[in-house]
């Protein structure tokens, strides 16, 4: 069953910051590539939200690696996937 995706305000802000950074320091092509990868992963999460690892310290939270530098933290139920935030994998997070 495909679940509906909900983005928190924090997650939306973080994605905007990432795309702004990519556009400023790399190129519009880099932004498009990142957003395509993100869309592909989110589409998979809508169908298979169990596919990513559970947090060891936060019950009901999972981490999905989008790129080697970026991951999302999310939770889900029978009807929806809630994306809580976007994190930088180079920092210590769980």
**Is residue 94 predicted with pLDDT exceeding 80?**
no
Supply the pTM of this predicted model: 0.89
Q: What distance in Å separates the CA atoms of residue 44 and residue 57, rounded to the nearest whole number? A: 24
pLDDT above 70 coverage of the chain, percent: 96
CATH code that applies to domain 4-88: 3.30.2310.20
pLDDT digits (tens, 9 = 90+) for 34-65: 999 999 999 999 999 999 999 888 889 999 99
Q: Which tokens in the block code for residue 53?
A: 């690892």
What are the residues whose beta carbons fall under 8 Å from the beta carbon of 34, sequence distance 6 or more?
Answer: 18, 19, 22, 67, 70
């Amino acid at each position: 069953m495909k679940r509906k995706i909900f983005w928190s305000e924090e997650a939306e802000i973080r994605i905007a910051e990432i795309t702004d950074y990519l556009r400023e320091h790399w190129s519009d092509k880099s932004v498009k590539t990142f957003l395509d990868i993100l869309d592909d992963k989110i589409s998979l999460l809508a169908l298979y939200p169990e596919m990513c690892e559970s947090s060891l310290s936060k019950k009901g939270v999972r981490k999905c690696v989008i790129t080697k530098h970026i991951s999302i933290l999310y939770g889900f139920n029978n009807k929806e996937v809630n994306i809580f935030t976007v994190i930088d994998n180079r920092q210590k997070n769980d």
